[in-house]
A and B are shown apart, each in its own frame.
Chain A
Amino acid sequence: MAEGEWEQAPVRKKHLDRNSEGTDDRPLENGMDEEEPNFSDAEDFIDDVTDDELLGDLLKQKPSEAVGIDSVVVVDNIPQVGQERVSKLKNVIRKIFSKYGEIITEFYPEENGKTKGFIFLEYDTIENAFKAAKNMTGYKLDKSHTFAVNVFSDFENYGDIPDDWQPPEKQSFVDHGNLKTWLMDPDCHDQYSVIYDGGETTAIFKNTPSEGVLVEARKRWTETFVRWSPLGSFLATMHQKGIALWGGEKFVQIKRFAHPGVQLIDFSPCERYMVSFSPVLGVNEEPLAIIVWDTRTGYKKRAFHCETACQWPIFKWSPDGKFFARLSSDLLSIYETPSCGLLEKKSLKIPGIKDFGWSPSENILAYWTPEAKDSPARVTLLEIPSRKELRVKNLFNVGDCKMHWQTQGDYLCVKVDRVTKSKKVQSCNFEIFRIREKLFPVDSVELKEGIIAFAWEPVGSKFCVLHGEPPRVSASFYNIKTKANIELLKTMEKKQANSVFWSPTGQFVILAGLRNMNGYFEFIDTNDMTVMNSREHFMATDVEWDPSGRYVVTGVSWWSHKVDNAFWVWNFQGKLLQKCAREKFCQLLWRPRPKSLLDKEQVKEIKKNMKVYTKQFELKDRQNLTKASKEQIEKRQKMLTDFQSLQEYLEETYKGLKEERLHLRGGVDTDRFDSNFEELEDEEEVEFFLGEEITEIDEFEYE
């Protein structure tokens, strides 16, 4: 057997002769049978079996360094005792500290026959060590001994900090380009995001009257859903590992925020901060559930525990993004930015507080508390940060309250369910707070029926209420007159509706019967209270107004309904413009627009010159329309000429096969439908009999 043949010898043998270390080239050759193979490695042999693969089970048992250190706590301020009392001390300490887990080892350093005053305890797990460190710090053993407990690894963590502070290196500025490019569209076409293919594909479209023009489409852009930031600068995509923000003309990635298992997202109204929520529990005591981020730097501002709140958003932001607040039992915690610390370092104690909401325009918040023993239910307007109570309104027989701020912050409506003593809902009141008038006067509107929906006109002073019991639903429109009563504009009866969608610019409103109400829509102009159009998008689940109030989209989302997934684009008058059927369409969101830069004067000026602009736009619309129909016709013409050449060819071949056809059908020409009619000599007459039946009706005789 030649030596060379063994050079590629079996791999798994290195460990068999580890002791020989391969120093001897041919350890087995001496005096051995020639048939006995050589087990040692060739010199150029490279072992490709890892230790893990070979003795994985043994390696698992190998103690790791981290386990040892992390589960050790250091306790300071232990009484210094002599030899004779050490065992007694140990008993006391053991008794106190074993509450947090099994103590594996303990070590009492000694000096001059006395304990040094600090000890080391090792717990069975890291978690228990952390628990002990958290709970036992500040434990008073006696008057002069208060424990200070630290996790041993902290010494390492903090010990390494250099004494000289080094200023952090300046990070180079990354220019993401203009994040507002979509606003520079010459025709002011708005954009919208669409998720379809059951979530596989996300696309951004530009809305034009005739069709959606694709801007960007990506596969698996998000794992669940997307969100636009409130001013439209960013598109947030949700992933298992965190959130990504995209923006700019080409939708490049702008920032990433690592938050494993993230499920919910919210932005501050100014876009500066973002809040994310993940139900994944952290290992340590460090909170991970809710994180407040700085969208510009991508840094974590502060993390919070979720506690029990099951409502999203947990944090409600003040309109300028300076404050955010959350509710817990009997407490209202207001935090301020950028520090993300509690405002004035403490939460507001409000016994029984049920709900609160910020005004969308000022730093005022409203909250309500239910009836307690001797005090009535109460709605309070609070100014932040001064914490001044601007207005308190007492209410009686309150079952539940819902607060609705008008989008401009001009009014606050509190819907109050009045109950009788037996807790039966009796009627419903709307308490309307006028924020812009002196002393915040409150008006009340009472409705005896069940309330299905309530919505403020976003710009203006009207609101719409759906009330009644389905299928007998009525829609009532009210108007608030300055320094006068609230006026009922009109009640429309027998409406097939369960939701109200106001145009973002006011005046126009859609009464929608979503889902089980079959997707029935009524487009209403509230200036003269006329129904402009009644249409249907069967089984529609969503309604989305575009930010300009010119278009509205109705959709059947795959998330709630499995067939006919599509979105339809309408104009504000209820004229159907496009039907876009997308396989497994899930969600459509309009890209929000920032507030207009025009001041009131400029808006007035534009309104004054409306006629001039109207003419320009109408001309443009007409041009676009003729262009579109021209394109369509050109397309058809091309299809027609293409097909005609095939038809001509087919016709030729058809003529050529005439002989064959005649042959197959025994000489009868059947090429034309009526080709044989002349040849038929004996005409056949077909008579149809109309059934005739005579039934005599006897008069019934009654006894």
Chain B
Amino acid sequence: MKPISLLGHERSITQIKYNREGDLLFSSAKDTSPTVWYSINGERLGTFDGHGGAVWCIDVNWDSTKVLTGAADSLCKLWDTQTGKELANFENGSAVRTCGFSFSGHDVMYSTDKTMGRSCEVLFFDTRDQSQLENNSPYMKITAPDSKVTSATWSNLDKELISGHDNGALCLWDLKTGSMVEEIMEHTKGVNDIQLNKTGQLFVTACKDSTSKLFNATTLEHLKTYKTDRPVNSAAISPLYDHVCLGGGQEAMDVTTTSSRIGKFETKFFHMIFEEEFARFKGHFGPINSVAFHPDGKSCSTGGEDGFVKINYFDSQYFEFDFEV
């Protein structure tokens, strides 16, 4: 397996996402140019220019017509995928940490950081309502109680939101009322990533406490734990098999003090049900910040602190491999 290296970003990759068909790969980085690539050969299709700071998050809607980005310049921008034109610009008081399109693709949400005296908020807009976009007026606002939101996703067909927090908490919010339904503490450190499975009924978390956990998205019931020996930055569930893919490594700030080998910048594969690791591959020389499965489950991509995005097509052994049961 030889990965395709996508070199276009000048700084660390923060998030990567495939569109629903899997032909496009979107990436955001700490430089100011979120990028879209052809996933088949890694050719760069274009960039969305307009941000003035590190771009923390990126999302694309289900029919790939719009792209949403959030950045450290306190802006969240909505783009037209095809033309790269800016459709809306949401201004805030602090950096935008995580963003996402709803299942329907009509609504967007993003969260802001708890800094500079601002509390951490999650804001909701309906993109069909021009007045909301122009006046910067969300139809709903949730204020996170104590710890800031580090990752979030829409859930239960746009009726709920799941948020992961800096203190390891996971919260389930009812979006009709904007109130918290449940809060659980299964992690001990910041939850870096939350990704749903294909059907949106399960989700997997990635946590700095070196574990990744599988939950039932409707009940927040903890189902499985995948243990590693390094902080996990991102985790994804395969749409094809009962597999989970984990990316991470020693935190970038600790790496310089030790040997490069010690970082363990590897992508690891676990069996989703048996919690056993069965494969891993190297490829980055810094921590892996984001992983994503191609929607067909035959390849996966990783984005690293080293600024590379790598598309990895699986070998035949991957498809032949099966656990003895």
Residues of chain A touching chain B, judged by Cβ–Cβ distance below 8 Å, are 518, 538-539, 563-564, 581, 629, 633, 636-637, 639-640, 643, 646, 650, 653-654, 657, 660-661, 664-665, 668, 670, 673, 686, 688
What is the 8 Å Cβ interface bit string for chain B, positions 32-55, against chain A (1 contact, 0 not)? 000000100101000000000000
A568 to chain B, nearest CB (A): 13
A673 touches B22 (CB 8 A): yes
Question: Number of contacts between A and B (CB, 8 Å)?
Answer: 62
What is the 8 Å Cβ interface bit string for chain B, positions 1-45, against chain A (1 contact, 0 not)? 000000000000000000011100000000000000010010100
Between-chain CB contacts (< 8 Å), 15 pairs? A581-B229, A633-B325, A637-B325, A654-B201, A657-B157, A661-B157, A664-B158, A670-B20, A670-B62, A673-B21, A673-B22, A673-B239, A686-B38, A688-B41, A688-B43
Q: Give which listed residue, A539, A640, A665, contacts B325 with CB less than 8 A.
A: A640
Query: Are A636 and B325 also in contact (CB < 8 A) when A650-B199, A664-B158, A665-B104 are?
Result: yes
- Is residue B274 within 8 Å, beta carbon to beta carbon, of the partner chain? yes
B309 to chain A, nearest CB (A): 18
B295 touches A665 (CB 8 A): no
B273 touches A639 (CB 8 A): yes
Q: Which of A633, A665, A673: most chain B Cβ within 10 A?
A: A673
Query: Are A646 and B223 also in contact (CB < 8 A) when A653-B201, A664-B104, A688-B41 are?
Result: yes
- Is residue B253 within 8 Å, beta carbon to beta carbon, of the partner chain? no
Q: What residue in chain A is nearest B105 (Cβ atoms)?
A: A665
> Chain B residues with Cβ under 8 A from A581's Cβ?
229
Q: Give which listed residue, A538, A629, A643, A664, contacts B273 with CB less than 8 A.
A: A643
What is the 8 Å Cβ interface bit string for chain B, positions 80-110, against chain A (1 contact, 0 not)? 0000000000000000000000011100000
> Chain B residues with Cβ under 8 A from A688's Cβ?
38, 41, 43
Complex: A539 Cα to B216 Cα, angstroms: 39
- Is residue B57 within 8 Å, beta carbon to beta carbon, of the partner chain? no
For window 106-144 of B, CB contacts with A under 8 Å fall at: none
- Is residue B206 within 8 Å, beta carbon to beta carbon, of the partner chain? no
Q: What residue in chain A is nearest B273 (Cβ atoms)?
A: A643
A654 touches B199 (CB 8 A): yes
B62 touches A665 (CB 8 A): yes
- Is residue B323 within 8 Å, beta carbon to beta carbon, of the partner chain? yes
Q: What residue in chain A is nearest B261 (Cβ atoms)?
A: A538
Query: Are A650 and B262 also in contact (CB < 8 A) when A633-B325, A670-B20 are?
Result: no
B103 touches A661 (CB 8 A): yes
Looking at chain B's contact residues, the main secondary structure is: loop
Complex: A660 Cα to B104 Cα, angstroms: 10
What is the 8 Å Cβ interface bit string for chain B, positions 224-245, against chain A (1 contact, 0 not)? 0000010000000001000000
A401 to chain B, nearest CB (A): 37
> Chain A residues with Cβ under 8 A from B259's Cβ?
518, 539
B60 to chain A, nearest CB (A): 14
Q: Give which listed residue, B41, B201, B250, B296, contacts A650 with CB less than 8 A.
A: B201
> Chain B residues with Cβ under 8 A from A668's Cβ?
63
Complex: A661 Cα to B103 Cα, angstroms: 8
> Chain B residues with Cβ under 8 A from A637's Cβ?
325
A46 to chain B, nearest CB (A): 49
> Chain B residues with Cβ under 8 A from A665's Cβ?
62-63, 103-105
Complex: A633 Cα to B239 Cα, angstroms: 25
B202 touches A650 (CB 8 A): yes
Complex: A643 Cα to B224 Cα, angstroms: 10
> Chain A residues with Cβ under 8 A from B295's Cβ?
673
> Chain B residues with Cβ under 8 A from A518's Cβ?
259, 261
Complex: A646 Cα to B295 Cα, angstroms: 23
- Is residue B258 within 8 Å, beta carbon to beta carbon, of the partner chain? yes
A539 touches B105 (CB 8 A): no
Q: What residue in chain A is nearest B199 (Cβ atoms)?
A: A654
B135 to chain A, nearest CB (A): 26
B157 touches A660 (CB 8 A): yes
Complex: A538 Cα to B259 Cα, angstroms: 11
Q: What residue in chain A is nearest B202 (Cβ atoms)?
A: A650
- Is residue B320 within 8 Å, beta carbon to beta carbon, of the partner chain? no
> Chain A residues with Cβ under 8 A from B229's Cβ?
564, 581
What is the 8 Å Cβ interface bit string for chain B, positions 251-282, against chain A (1 contact, 0 not)? 00000001101100000000001100000000
A518 to chain B, nearest CB (A): 8
> Chain A residues with Cβ under 8 A from B239's Cβ?
673
Complex: A657 Cα to B202 Cα, angstroms: 15
For window 147-198 of B, CB contacts with A under 8 Å fall at: 157-158
> Chain B residues with Cβ under 8 A from A673's Cβ?
20-22, 239, 295-296
Complex: A539 Cα to B264 Cα, angstroms: 13
A636 touches B104 (CB 8 A): no
> Chain B residues with Cβ under 8 A from A633's Cβ?
324-325
Complex: A665 Cα to B250 Cα, angstroms: 41
